[in-house]
Amino acid sequence: MKLSVPLPQPNHFLTSSLQQWKRLPGGIPPARPGHHLDRDRRASNVGPITAALSLVDSPSSFPLYQPPPAQESLSELEPADPDFYKIGYVRSMRAYGIEFKEGPDGFGVYASKDVEPLRRARVIMEIPLELMLTIRQKPPWMFFPDIVPIGHPIFDIINSTDPETDWDLRMACLLLYAFDKQDNFWQLYGDFLPGADECTSLLLATEGDLLELQDPTLATTMKKQQRRVLDFWEKHWHNGAPLKIKRLARDPERLTWAVSVAQSRSIGMQIRIGALVQDSNMLIPYADMLNHSFEPNCFLHWRFKDRMLEVMINAGQRIRKGDEMTINYLGSQKNNMFMQRYGFSSPVNPWDAIEFSGNARIHLDSFLSVFDIAGLPDEYYHKSMKRTNPLIIVSTI
């Protein structure tokens, strides 16, 4: 009999280090301890990046966030210049009524005020395209913003990847390149990303950790994935590689960390740039702080007209101050898929089924109620079939 039941959550990866994170005034995530880059040095290099945090309690002193002098409401947003990226103008990220802080699942996004249910979805974050790392899913590879110059050797490395399977390697290359590129926003944002010791991704797990999963199939899959990343590093980061490649990932651990960030924080999305609709992989700063729920109160929406990613509260959703804002990462996937990509599983995953050796597939809920298993958390007993919340709604405006 083959059982597929929720795996234990590997929160031990997170808990010890998370205790050290302190909330700054204004609810802005502080830089994580032990981050790999020198924040002060980079802060002095990066001039034009700002984040407008309307409705957040109070401004933070962290240089990444320079709130505007006056508070703005949604109706007062200035129209965006459609050519902003051509002229190099960097727009701000804006947040409304939320704060970023530490919670049981690492950093998360929390409501800083009550929100009454509205008939229409309501914006809580706006993130402009030029702050994201975006790469087209099919060749010819295109990047937004166009940070990789054609002649740069990282472009050849990206070009060598398998278009079908290696989106995460491409994104990791782009991320490492962005960290290295002078004045790039990601040099600052890197301080907000979890370090290798904080990331729950199983790509970073030791052999012993993988054995503890008690899921040989998942352990084998993860070992193959670790090998794939290592092979990629050995192929491109060899002794003869140019210095500008070598310094991006001096050791394989650095590349593995970047791939785990790519896997656990990026999303696939269809965006329209000009007349072209592009399937893209995107790392979206600030939105990547949203944790997962099977009953999310938010969703992501791409606003075509000014190339903004909006995080929106579901229409009709009541929010209480302090509630965590969540999205559904994968829709109707089982826990092994969540474990594989994000390094966590959920005891309330409505899509996890118990498989028997015959043809029968019994939903976990039915199994638990039929056999009246006692002593399990209440969450196991929920009966309602969850609706699938689409992660992204692409506007047709």
Ligand X SMILES: C[S@@+](CC[C@H](N)C(=O)[O-])C[C@H]1O[C@@H](n2cnc3c(N)ncnc32)[C@H](O)[C@@H]1O
Choices 147-155, 238-246, 336-344, 363-371 (CB under 6 A): range interacting with ligand X: 336-344
144 or 342: CB nearest ligand X: 342
178 makes contact with ligand X (CB under 6 A):
no
Structure tokens at 170: 């491409």
184 or 200: CB nearest ligand X: 200
126 or 288: CB nearest ligand X: 288
Cα–Cα distances in angstroms (integers) from residue 353 to residues 3, 184, 212, in the given order: 9, 45, 21
148 or 204: CB nearest ligand X: 204
Choices 76-84, 101-109, 148-156, 355-363 (CB under 6 A): range interacting with ligand X: 101-109
106 makes contact with ligand X (CB under 6 A):
yes
105 makes contact with ligand X (CB under 6 A):
yes
292 makes contact with ligand X (CB under 6 A):
yes
Instruction: Write the secondary structure of 204-245 as one string of H (helix), E (strand) and C (coil).
Output: HCCHHHHHHCCCHHHHHHHHHHHHHHHHHHHHHCCCCCCHHH
Q: How many residues does the chain have?
A: 397
Q: By rule CB under 6 A, what string of x and - marks binding of each residue 9-28 to ligand X?
A: x-------------------
Burial class (CB in 10 A: 0-12, 13-18, 19+), 122: buried
Contact 14, 343 (CB under 8 A): no
194 makes contact with ligand X (CB under 6 A):
yes
When binding is defined by CB under 6 A, the residue of 200, 225, 297, 389 that contacts ligand X is 200
Pairing of strands 324-327, 353-355: unpaired
- Strand stretches in the chain, DSSP E: 51-52, 93-95, 98-103, 106-111, 122-128, 133-136, 143-144, 266-273, 276-283, 291-292, 298-303, 308-313, 324-327, 353-355, 361-363, 392-394
110 makes contact with ligand X (CB under 6 A):
no
When binding is defined by CB under 6 A, the residue of 288, 310, 324, 365 that contacts ligand X is 288
Residue nearest to ligand X (CB): 106
Q: How far is the CB of 189 from ligand X (least distance, A)?
A: 11
Contact 100, 109 (CB under 8 A): yes
265 makes contact with ligand X (CB under 6 A):
yes
User: For 66, what's the count of Cα atoms within 13 Å in the CB-facing half-sphere?
Assistant: 10
299 makes contact with ligand X (CB under 6 A):
no
- Please, which residues bridge with residue 333 across strands? none
Structure tokens at 248: 């991006």
When binding is defined by CB under 6 A, the residue of 85, 143, 177, 344 that contacts ligand X is 344
Q: How far is the CB of 288 from ligand X (least distance, A)?
A: 5
Q: How far is the CB of 52 from ligand X (least distance, A)?
A: 22
Helix, strand or coil, per DSSP, at residue 184: coil
12 or 305: CB nearest ligand X: 12
Site residues for ligand X per CB under 6 A: 9, 105-108, 194, 200, 264-265, 288-289, 291-292, 342-344, 346
